[in-house]
């Protein structure tokens, strides 16, 4: 008589145990707990704000080193410097087109559904004191140029201004490229530093659930459940527009690239959830750079498109700007002609580039446009201050996803995109994806062996 004995070894890990180890699931769980704490114990929830502030501060600490390492090594390793200029021109052209499309979509939706009509707000009842002081920091072309120039070369690398760091990184990368063999040791040193920096990024991102918990607990505790009822029509309409933009515009672009948008969103689910909960695009910039390189986009493309895109390609903010402007005009009973609306779009196209990298930049651009056009009193901004944090959810989500799509587009445009690798990463059920730590070339060598 034979008997079977159970195989020895470690018992199979349960599905829940595997989920608990996933960053995106930890973020979702933290979000649910944060909302619950904010509703049940609002006093305690308000005290949790530092958790989100600390997490954002940690991310900002590492953003500039990531930009410097990726951009510098990407350009320094190029065989042809004209490629860097070509990538930059293509990226800026793409950004301008998508920004214009985004603004026109917001404008059309606001004109069709009239979210502000019926409020009949009396301008004399508005308080300018309710408008944040940052709204008076109007954008200007000279201010934009000034933000590009750091006080010192090393200061740009150790500071927190992304635009200045980007410019110095490009200059540094070009100089290393032109130095040839003389600059090779320094290039190798920066590549080694890049590995260390991304290891720190991994550590910081493990703290994302804490930042999510503190952020949502504070928001719900501060505004309460009633905050979801204030200006509900605008919130629902803007959210629906964001969904429409993702499905139609970004979906069409990804189909043109012969890729699946939903597969990309699954691949970036942790980054998108962190961006949604913290309302900060910068919070996911370092990890997004790493993920897109893993996806198969060349480092030169990622290094130029992502840092510049987080300053210039803010499609979610573009949708918000035109829709919020029309909401304010309709709420005040101001009828803007189509000529005035187009002028408003033109002003936004300029001022939105002047607030790159500024916290709450979309609200500042809105204030700048309201002042420049002159048809809506600045105090009208107080109408949406209370729900701006909620509206920022959709803005940040599209900003992050839109820049990931932009990087893929420019990568394919430049023939610096490994489609087979991307398919392996996005569809792991069909093929075995390469390990994130491996470079694209290493993955190919491993496959050959």
Judge whether residue 10 has pLDDT over 70: no
Lowest mean pLDDT among 44-48, 105-109, 132-136, 240-244: 132-136
Three-class SS state of 337: coil
What pLDDT band is residue 373 in, cutting at 50, 70 and 90? low
Residue-wise pLDDT tens digits, 173-196: 888 888 888 888 888 888 888 888
Q: What is the pLDDT of residues 387-409, one digit of tens each?
A: 666 777 778 888 899 999 999 99
Q: How far apart are the first and last CA of the chain?
A: 46
The pLDDT assigned to 241 comes to 92
How many other CB atoms are found less than 10 A from the CB of residue 417? 23
Average pLDDT taken over every residue of the chain: 77
Name which of 353, 375, 377 is nearest 365 in CA terms.
Answer: 353
What is the pLDDT at residue 444? 40
pLDDT value at 9 more than 50? no
- What number is the average pLDDT over the span 155-159? 73
Confidence of residue 147 (pLDDT cuts 50, 70, 90): low
What is the full DSSP assignment across 185-197?
A: HHHHHHHHHHHHH
Does residue 256 have a pLDDT over 90? yes
Three-state SS for 22-39 is CHHHHHHHHHHHHHHHHH
Check whether 104 has a pLDDT greater than 90.
yes
DSSP-derived 3-state class of residue 297 = strand
Query: What is the C-alpha radius of gyration for the chain, rounded to an integer number of angstroms?
Result: 23
Give residue 246's pLDDT.
93
For residue range 222-245, what is the model confidence (pLDDT) as tens digits?
A: 655 544 444 678 888 998 999 999
Range 208-227 average pLDDT? 71
DSSP code, position 8: P
Helices 49-76 and 162-179, interaxial angle, to 10°? 20
């Amino acid at each position: 008589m034979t008997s079977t004995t159970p195989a020895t070894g470690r018992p199979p890990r349960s599905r829940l145990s595997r989920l608990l180890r996933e960053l995106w699931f930890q973020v979702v769980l933290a979000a649910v707990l944060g909302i619950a704490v904010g509703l049940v114990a609002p006093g305690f929830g308000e005290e949790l704000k530092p958790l989100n502030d600390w997490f954002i501060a940690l991310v900002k600490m590492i953003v500039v080193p990531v930009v410097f390492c990726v951009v510098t090594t990407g350009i320094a390793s190029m065989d042809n410097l004209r490629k860097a200029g070509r990538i930059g021109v293509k990226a800026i052209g793409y950004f301008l087109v998508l920004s214009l499309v985004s603004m026109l979509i917001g404008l059309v939706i606001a004109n069709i559904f009239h979210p502000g009509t019926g409020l009949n707000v009396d301008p004399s009842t508005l308080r300018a004191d309710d408008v944040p002081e940052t709204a008076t920091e109007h954008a200007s072309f000279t201010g934009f140029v000034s933000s590009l120039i750091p006080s010192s070369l090393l200061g740009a690398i150790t500071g927190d201004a992304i635009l200045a760091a980007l410019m110095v990184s490009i200059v540094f990368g070009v100089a290393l490229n032109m130095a040839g063999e003389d600059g090779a040791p320094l290039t190798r040193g920066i590549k080694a530093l890049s590995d260390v920096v991304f290891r720190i990024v991994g550590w910081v991102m493990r703290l994302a659930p804490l930042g999510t918990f503190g952020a949502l607990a504070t928001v719900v505790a501060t505004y309460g459940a009633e905050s979801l009822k204030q200006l509900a029509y605008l919130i629902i309409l803007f959210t629906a527009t964001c969904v429409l933009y993702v499905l139609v515009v970004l979906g069409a672009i990804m189909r043109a690239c012969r890729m699946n948008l939903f597969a990309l969103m699954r691949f970036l689910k942790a980054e998108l959830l962190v961006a949604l909960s913290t309302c900060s695009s910068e919070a996911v910039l370092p990890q997004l750079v790493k993920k897109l390189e893993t996806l198969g986009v060349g480092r030169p493309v990622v290094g130029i498109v992502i840092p510049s895109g987080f300053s210039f390609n803010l499609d979610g903010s573009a949708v918000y700007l035109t829709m919020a402007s029309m909401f304010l005009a309709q709420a005040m009973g101001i009828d803007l002609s189509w000529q005035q609306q187009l002028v408003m779009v033109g002003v936004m196209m300029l001022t939105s580039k002047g607030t790159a990298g500024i916290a709450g930049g979309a609200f500042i651009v809105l204030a700048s446009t309201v002042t420049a056009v002159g048809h809506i009193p600045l105090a009208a901004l107080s109408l949406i201050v209370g729900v701006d944090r909620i509206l920022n959810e959709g803005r940040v989500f599209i900003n992050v996803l839109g820049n990931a799509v932009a990087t893929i587009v420019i990568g394919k445009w430049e023939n610096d995109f490994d489609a087979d690798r991307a398919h392996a990463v996005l569809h792991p059920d069909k093929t075995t994806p390469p390990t994130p730590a491996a470079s694209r070339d290493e993955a190919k060598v491993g496959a050959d062996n």
